[in-house]
């Protein structure tokens, strides 16, 4: 599963991505080989949408959803917007759970 994390510059999102990777690595149920993570600034999202399974949107760019939706909608990519408290804590476990739920809901609605 390819999870793309998207924010303003890609820096803080890289820290969140590392937290999500740690969650997968430390999990007894999840396999490291089943996941790939990419953190990108919103302005280059176009380059990462192909083969993206779920998009994680940082709270600092939630207002750019009008820009993001036309990019991801043709690919039917589900997305989650991380709330500022979860993001501030760099809570990778919660964000990973949100992403997995969004993907599962999208698969059920096919």
Closest CA to 55 of 90, 4, 1: 4
Q: Is 7 a catalytic residue?
A: yes
Choice among 6, 7, 17, 49 that is catalytic: 7
2 phi, psi to nearest 5 deg: -95, 120
Quote the CA–CA distance of 45 and 42 in Å, as a whole number. Answer: 5
The interaxial angle of helices 11-26 and 92-108, nearest 10 deg, is: 80
Sign of CA dihedral 76, 39, 93, 81: negative
Specify which residues 6 forms β-bridges with: 40, 57
Tokens of 31: 């396999």
Catalytic center residues: 7
């Amino acid at each position: 599963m390819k999870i793309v994390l998207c924010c303003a510059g890609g820096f803080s999102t890289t820290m969140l991505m590392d937290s999500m990777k740690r969650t997968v690595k430390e999990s007894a149920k999840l396999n490291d080989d089943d996941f790939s993570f990419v953190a990108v600034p919103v302005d280059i999202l176009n380059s990462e949408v192909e083969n993206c399974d779920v998009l994680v949107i940082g709270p600092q760019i939630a207002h750019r959803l009008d820009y993001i939706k036309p990019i991801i909608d043709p690919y039917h990519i589900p997305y989650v917007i991380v709330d500022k408290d979860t993001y501030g804590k760099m809570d990778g476990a919660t964000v990973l759970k949100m992403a997995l739920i969004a993907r599962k809901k999208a698969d059920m609605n096919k």
